Structure 1
C-alpha cells in the first residue's frame, strides 16, 4: 500500500474512532432535533412526518423553505434547530480534523 492510501486508511479509522467517542453527544443532538420537530408539527398542525422532515432539513441545511413556521413557539424551535445543526456540523468537522491530523502525523 502506498503512502497516500495508508494516510486515507488511517484517516478513515481515526474518523470512525472519533465518531464513536462523540456519538453520545451527536445522538443527543439528533434526538433533541427530532423532539423539536415534533413540537413544531404539533404547534403548526403539520403531520408528524412533516415535522420530522422540517427538523432534519432545518438542522442539516438550514431549510429549503417548503415548510415555514408561523407560530412564535415553532419559530423559536426552528432557531434552536438551526443552532443544533451548527453544533452537529462543528462536532463532525472537529472529529474529521483530529483524524486528519493523526493520519498525517502517523506517516512522518
Structure 2
C-alpha cells in the first residue's frame, strides 16, 4: 500500500482549512466583532484604555485569563462570562474546521492513489 507524501497531505489540509474558514467566515467575523465590542464596553465601564479592553476581550474569550486586568463591576463581570462562552464556541468551531480539514485532506490524498 502506497502512502501519500506528508507535504501533499499538508497542502490539501491547508486548502481545506481555507475553504471551511471562508464558509464559516460570517460566524467567525461576528464572534470576533463581539469580542472586540464587549471588550471595549468593559474598558469603558471599568475606566481602562480601549486597547486594554480589546486585549482583555481576547484573553478572556480565548480562556487564557492572565489576570492582570480584572473587572470589578457586576455588569463587567457578566459581560466577561459572556466573552468566555463566546470564546469557547469560537475555539470549538475552529477545532471542528481543523478536524474536518484533516478528514478531507486524507480522503483526497487517498483518492489520488
1:102 alignment counterpart? 104
1:8 alignment counterpart? 10
Task: Report the CA distance between 1:42 and its aligned residue.
Answer: 1.3
8 Å CA contact 1:62, 1:82 repeated in 2: no
After the TM superposition, which residues 1-108 of structure 1 pair with which residues of structure 2 at under 5 Å, given as runs?
3-108=5-110
Q: Distance in 2 between matches of 1:65 and 1:90?
A: 23
- Give the structure-1-normalised TM-score: 0.93
Structure 1 moving runs of 4+ over 3 Å: none
5+ residue gaps, structure 1, are: none
Q: What RMSD, in angstroms, separates the aligned Cα atoms of the two structures? A: 1.1
Q: Distance in 1 between matches of 2:40 and 2:104?
A: 40
Paired residues, number? 107
Secondary structure at the counterpart of residue 48 of structure 2: coil
- Give the structure-2-normalised TM-score: 0.89
| Structure with max Cα Rg | 2
